[in-house]
């Protein structure tokens, strides 16, 4: 138990604002549930490449949802606590239309 203590408590090295989201496995469980649900529809896969294509498509869709959506898992402000500075150049360029 003592050997794994540092790994289990690794999230404490981040700002407290991140702890609740880091220690949770909900996002990973959501991905696994989605893959399981979609693979049940297929039933039997003809080969390993078909499984990889399905999982890749699911992960790609989820990535697109996170990129295009307004919701963020961690806000820019909370991420700035990690970096020490906040990069607002991209957001300013996006908002100004340039």
Provide Rg for the chain, Cα atoms: 19
Question: In terms of Cα–Cα distance, which of 85, 76, 86, 68 is closest to 18?
Answer: 76
pLDDT tens digits along 4-51: 888 888 778 777 877 777 777 788 898 999 999 999 998 899 999 999
pTM above 0.85, yes or no: no
**Average of per-residue pLDDT across 63-68:** 83
Structural domain spans, the chain: 26-76
Could you count the other beta carbons within 10 Å of the beta carbon of residue 97?
5
């Amino acid at each position: 138990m003592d050997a794994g203590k540092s790994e289990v408590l690794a999230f404490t090295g981040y700002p407290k604002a991140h702890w609740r989201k880091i220690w949770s496995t909900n996002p990973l469980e959501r991905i696994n549930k989605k893959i399981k649900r979609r693979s049940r529809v297929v039933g039997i896969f003809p080969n390993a490449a078909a499984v990889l294509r399905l999982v890749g498509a699911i992960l790609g869709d989820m990535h697109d949802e996170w990129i295009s959506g307004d919701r963020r898992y961690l806000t820019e402000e909370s991420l700035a606590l990690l970096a020490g500075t906040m990069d607002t150049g991209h957001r300013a360029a996006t908002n100004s239309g340039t």
